[in-house]
Amino acid sequence: MARMAGTAALAESLLDVAVVSTTSVAGGDICTTTRLRLTDGRSAVIKTRPQAPPRFFTTEAEGLRRLGAAGGAPVPEVLAANDECIILDWIEPAKPSADLAEGLGRGLAATHAAGTGGFGADHDGYVGLAPLPNRPLPTWEEFYASRRVMPYVKAAVDRGALSLEQAATIEKVMKQLPSLTADPEPPALLHGDLWSGNLVWSADGVRLIDPAVHGGHRETDLAMLALFGAPHLQRILDAYNEAAPLQEGWMDRVPLHQLHPLLVHAVMFGGAYGPRAAAAAQSLLDGKS
């Protein structure tokens, strides 16, 4: 009860509105999530974490606002954020449907089309609690290899989640990136961590949450969405492709774009994620031969 009281007081200080009640929200192991009922009739959700990394919540808030400004796939409204928490408008969940999936696919295409100034972002961010280097580089191939894959190859080896032989396979793919990618495209505005757990299905659209926003390749978001599966995934992909046709062979490149999230999971959780990343890399080399 003391924790809930502290959370309510924190929210009240930021929103300048009294909290009527608090309710724990299940899900997620990084932050504590609490639903707030406010005296003005609104509901909100506050995420907190003791001793959160620097800019953890404010970076999330910036990312959500940037995605929202793109006018594509919707996001919750950011009500407040500081070093201790982020407070968002409450989204009432609804059952996934094909119609909502179609809207998500078209909205995501519009988000990506909003574009960015380059490959990367103004400052580093996070994927979960893991650091996300974002210093821009001229091409997507350079950015993906230097800022996404190779730092996590090293971290996975250091953790014992990836063997030296497996690491060499992935490094070989990075050296051959120009021959494995599609024709150059302008930087897309990416969610950056688009797995099904970061989708909130609601009656008036699917909201994107917990982003790791940066400029990248649009196929990366779609590959991440496919990595752990999502309701009505094929309808999402079909609607996206109808709105913004993908380059030929994009499905063959899915393993390439899944390397980074697999390596992040290898570093964070170990298990089979390291071998899965190496297998994905090997499949790309086999397909090229």
Element (H, E) at 11: helix 2-15
CA distances for 143 relative to 14, 67, 150, 191, angstroms: 37, 21, 10, 16
Give the pLDDT confidence score for residue 288 in this predicted structure. 74
From first to last of its 289 residues, the chain has per-residue pLDDT tens of 445 678 999 999 999 999 999 999 987 778 999 999 999 999 999 999 999 999 999 999 999 999 999 999 999 999 999 999 999 999 999 999 999 999 999 999 999 999 999 999 999 999 989 999 999 999 999 999 999 999 999 999 999 999 999 999 999 999 999 999 989 999 999 999 999 999 999 999 999 999 999 999 999 999 999 999 999 999 999 999 999 999 999 999 999 999 999 999 999 999 999 999 999 999 999 987 6
196 with 148, same domain: the answer is: yes
pLDDT digits (tens, 9 = 90+) for 25-36: 987 778 999 999
Nearest residue to 57 via CA among 119, 118, 5, 10: 10
Nearest residue to 220 via CA among 180, 256, 182, 274: 256
CATH code, 268 = 3.90.1200.10
Picking from 39, 57, 89, the residue at the C-terminal end of a domain is 89
68 with 143, same domain: the answer is: no
270 with 144, same domain: the answer is: yes
155 with 182, same domain: the answer is: yes
Q: Which residues form the domain of 40?
A: 2-89
Q: What is the CA radius of gyration of the chain?
A: 19
208 with 124, same domain: the answer is: yes
Is 77 in contact with 89 (CB distance < 8 Å)? yes
84 with 214, same domain: the answer is: no
Is 140 in contact with 153 (CB distance < 8 Å)? no
Question: ∠ CA 221-120-185 to the nearest 5 degrees?
Answer: 60
Backbone φ and ψ of 58, nearest 5°: -70, -30
Backbone φ and ψ of 117, nearest 5°: -80, -10
- Count of CA atoms in the C-beta half-sphere (13 A) of 153: 22
- Tokens coding 71: 């006018």
For the whole model, what pTM was predicted? 0.95
CATH code, 59 = 3.30.200.20
Is 222 in contact with 240 (CB distance < 8 Å)? yes
80 with 120, same domain: the answer is: no
72 with 165, same domain: the answer is: no
Element (H, E) at 8: helix 2-15
Give the type of residue at 281: A
How many structural domains does the chain have? 2
